Amino acid sequence: MTFTNRLRVIFRSKASRTLDRLEDPREALDDSYEQLVRMLQDVRLGLAEVATAKKRLELQGQEMGARHQRLADQAESALNQGREDLARTALERRSLLEGQVAALRDQYTLLQKQQGQLQDNERRLAERVAAFRTEKESIKASYAASQAQVKANEAAAGLGSQMSEVGVSLDRAKDRIAQMQARAAATDELLASGALTDLTAPPDADLERQLSAGATSADVERQLRAMKDARASRQGRPAGSRGTGPDAWLSIGNGPDTP
């Protein structure tokens, strides 16, 4: 595999993993769930604002109701004192207040209706969020199990992006080993032929190496001649005992090793 092909395989595997992360349905489900939760929070915030406004109107209406009763008492007290002018003024103010109370009551009724609608929406949306959360976790668990199974199957079959990278690394290691072995063999041949000089070797090491090789060759030739001579001398004579005792090894290399 060439270097360009290796880069192509690695890039393809990394790009595939990036796309898998972008297309992960678990992230899409989490995003949808967060949107629903934000919607539920907005509905609850609106419900709290409506309830607050309704409570304000309720307190204002209670104050106006107390004033309405106080004006009635003042009109009756003025009439008992013979002050019809004051009684008339109190009744006029009371009549004007009744119109304000009517307008306030309409607003209060409208807010009460809105609050009821928001409460229904909040309850339905909360149920939907809870159901979606349950389904989301179930789908995520199923996806995780399927993903684990796919990875296990790909690993068993030697497939998948990670296994591709492992294969690329293995091929690269094999190439490097082959190159180093070839280089070692080549340098050995060059050293043996004298084309390269070992700078760390002692002086005249090449001569010592060649002399040693020649000595070994001469020793082999000597043993071969001794074997031939011993064989010729044994022809026609009964075979004698050979040095096969427990101490026979002590004589190895000290004399001709004849079979």
Q: Is residue 219 part of a domain?
A: no
pLDDT at 198: 59
Helix (H) or strand (E) holding 103: helix 84-157
pLDDT at 209: 67
Alpha carbon distance 75, 90 (integer Å): 5
Domain CATH code at residue 136: 1.10.287
- Spell out, as residue ranges, where the chain has pLDDT lower than 50: 7, 15, 19
- Helix 84-157 and helix 25-80, axial crossing angle in degrees, nearest 10: 170
pLDDT at 251: 58
- Residue pair 191/206 in contact (Cβ under 8 Å)? The answer is no
pLDDT at 19: 45
Q: Is residue 199 part of a domain?
A: no
Query: Looking at the 3D structure of the chain, how many domains does it have?
Result: 1
pLDDT at 174: 84
Q: Is residue 235 part of a domain?
A: no
Q: Is residue 189 part of a domain?
A: no
pLDDT at 190: 72
Q: Is residue 60 part of a domain?
A: yes
Task: Find the radius of gyration of the CA atoms of the chain.
Answer: 53
Q: Is residue 137 part of a domain?
A: yes
Q: Is residue 61 part of a domain?
A: yes
- Domain span at 139: 16-159
pLDDT at 120: 93
Alpha carbon distance 174, 181 (integer Å): 10
Q: Is residue 98 part of a domain?
A: yes
Alpha carbon distance 51, 119 (integer Å): 10
